[in-house]
Copies of this chain bind each other. A is one copy, B any other.
Amino acid sequence: MSNAGTLAESPAYAALTDRFRRIALVGDALGILGWDQATLMPEGSAGGRAEQIAALSVLCHELLVAGDVRDNLDAAGEMLDEAGEESWEAANLREMSRAYLNAAAVPGDLVESAARASAVCEVQWRQARADNDFASLVPALEEVIGLVKQIGLARSEALSLSFYDALLDEYEAGTTVAKLDPLFGQLATDLPNLVNEVIEHQATRPEPALPPGPFPIARQRELAAELIQILGFSFDSGRLDISHHPFCGGAAGDVRITTRYSEENFTESLMGVLHETGHALYEAGLPEAWRYQPVGQALGMAIHESQSLLVKMQVSRSRPFLQFALPRMQAAFGGEGPAWNVENFYRLYTRVERGLIRVDADEVTYPLHVVLRYRLERALLSGDLPLGDLPGAWNDGMRDLLGVVPPDDASGCLQDVHWPSGAFGYFPTYTLGAMAAAQLYAAARAAMPGLEEDIAAGRLSGLVSWLREKVHQRGAYRPAEDLLIEVTGQPLDFRIFLDHLQTRYLDRG
């Protein structure tokens, strides 16, 4: 048997690294095209851009499944031995195989049919939501669900996973129903009570006051740029722009954050920027030696979300962060008056409400929105829940989990784009990310006893260096679950997340 050096030097592996380097570079080009599309592309150029993106996507897919990729994966795989499996090259080969299997699992014409059906369904969804007319969406959504089932089946066979696990795996490798059910089951049991307690508790404190505007957009941008640079974001290899839906995109070594501003309220936009900065720091901190290789990429959606939520939820809504940031906010806007104190901002940023809309939800109720969607999408896919019965099941679920019932489907089962766009298995990553964020931040505080004092003094580089070393620089060397054990000493544990919620929202600890 050969050793890891031999794998690294084998022609099959070399051919694969060349191939995947090209794929990554086309992916980076797509990242820039997508960013441009969302930020400053002229409206009339949308048709051409869609064609460019489709052409490059097809090229990526072809580069991944065509030619001798499979043969090279087989040949390189034969050069692995037990020691070799610990090498970055071996991990790279594992990630290459995963990418290949995922791409090859689903026939090209099925991918295309699904993409087309989703595009049609998304358009109809926009109208259906505006019209509050679920029935009008049913035929198109039925078709999407049918195609998702076919895709899930194809992936299930190719990846030797059960049907829904095969869908989950696309967004966060290694996520399974077997792991989710106990986690989400516990949340479904514990969180409704916690929500009750928190709402009672917060009734004993003063209502938070929104600082009065207007807040000039130029000053909001300066403030955001100042804070994210203190967090370690670099404008030497990144940008901050405006788009309708905030995101973090761009390419390797060119990480671009977007946000939107409102003159009336700067607090939400600022949190949005901090959220995207968590994503951006992850992307910018990936191991440069493995740039353009699969093992040098970020892990799945759950770990990515953990990085954004760690910055936005764990850090930026904490008292220490607000102690540091509030004077800068005041300086940016000349803020004076009763709203401008740390305790008020803390209450503002930790306000809990039984809301109808997931994207507006606070940290405590958000997982219940996810649990509802997790249950419903599994029932829809299994056939247990006929699509026509979705609005009723949605409203029942909201009553059970959150104690509120949507007055209409627009603020109920029509609120999210995910299902119309074919994204089934995606919702759980939001809450896995929130749990991982809590667990990683707890580990960070344990590792750095003076962390909160540092944050209060505006010294954030210690935390960011720790994240870089423990998470970002590791790329996809270890699967998400292993990484979490390595860094925090244990697999994902919902109790850490619940502890965090109790501590913060019931003022314990």
Closest to A254 in B: B45
Closest to A237 in B: B44
Per-position contact with B for A216-238: 1 when CB-CB < 8 Å, else 0? 00000000000000000011111
Q: In the complex, what residues of B have CB within 8 A of residue A25's CB?
A: 51-52, 54-56
CB-based contact A239/B42 at 8 Å: yes
In angstroms, how far is the closest chain B Cβ from the Cβ of A446?
34
Task: Say if the beta carbon of A130 comes within 8 Å of chain B.
Answer: no
Task: Say if the beta carbon of A253 comes within 8 Å of chain B.
Answer: yes
CB-based contact A59/B251 at 8 Å: no
Task: Say if the beta carbon of A353 comes within 8 Å of chain B.
Answer: no
**In the complex, A254→B253 CA distance in Å?**
26
CB-based contact A252/B29 at 8 Å: no
Closest to A252 in B: B48
Q: In the complex, what residues of B have CB within 8 A of residue A254's CB?
A: 41-42, 44-45, 48-49
Q: In the complex, what residues of B have CB within 8 A of residue A49's CB?
A: 251, 254
> Which secondary structure characterizes the binding site on chain A?
helix
Known: A22-B55, A42-B235, A239-B40. A251 touches B48 (CB 8 A): yes
Task: Say if the beta carbon of A28 comes within 8 Å of chain B.
Answer: yes
Instruction: Kindly identify which residue among B26, B45, B235 contacts A59, using a CB–CB cutoff of 8 Å.
Output: B26
Closest to A253 in B: B48
In angstroms, how far is the closest chain B Cβ from the Cβ of A131?
28
**In the complex, A25→B25 CA distance in Å?**
16
Q: In the complex, what residues of B have CB within 8 A of residue A383's CB?
A: none
In angstroms, how far is the closest chain B Cβ from the Cβ of A491?
35
Q: In the complex, what residues of B have CB within 8 A of residue A26's CB?
A: 55-56, 59
**In the complex, A51→B29 CA distance in Å?**
10
In angstroms, how far is the closest chain B Cβ from the Cβ of A15?
15
Task: Say if the beta carbon of A507 comes within 8 Å of chain B.
Answer: no
Task: Say if the beta carbon of A36 comes within 8 Å of chain B.
Answer: yes
- Which chain A residues in 13-52 approach chain B with CB under 8 Å? 21-22, 25-26, 28-29, 32-33, 36, 40-45, 47-49, 51-52
Q: In the complex, what residues of B have CB within 8 A of residue A43's CB?
A: 236
CB-based contact B29/A29 at 8 Å: yes
**In the complex, A42→B250 CA distance in Å?**
11
CB-based contact A45/B251 at 8 Å: yes
Q: In the complex, what residues of B have CB within 8 A of residue A239's CB?
A: 40, 42
Closest to A30 in B: B29
In angstroms, how far is the closest chain B Cβ from the Cβ of A98?
22
Counting chain B CB atoms within 10 Å of each CB, the highest count among A28, A29, A43 belongs to A29
In angstroms, how far is the closest chain B Cβ from the Cβ of A258?
13
- Which chain A residues in 443-465 approach chain B with CB under 8 Å? none
Per-position contact with B for A50-69: 1 when CB-CB < 8 Å, else 0? 01101110110000000000
8 more A-B contacts (CB under 8 A) besides A25-B52, A25-B54, A42-B236? A26-B55, A28-B51, A29-B55, A32-B32, A32-B33, A32-B52, A43-B236, A45-B253
Residues of A at under 8 Å CB distance from B? 21-22, 25-26, 28-29, 32-33, 36, 40-45, 47-49, 51-52, 54-56, 58-59, 234-239, 251-254, 292
Q: What are some 25 contacts across the A-B interface (CB < 8 A)?
A: A22-B55, A22-B58, A25-B52, A25-B55, A26-B55, A26-B59, A29-B29, A29-B55, A29-B56, A32-B33, A32-B36, A32-B52, A36-B36, A41-B254, A42-B235, A42-B254, A44-B234, A44-B236, A44-B253, A44-B254, A45-B251, A45-B253, A48-B252, A51-B292, A59-B59
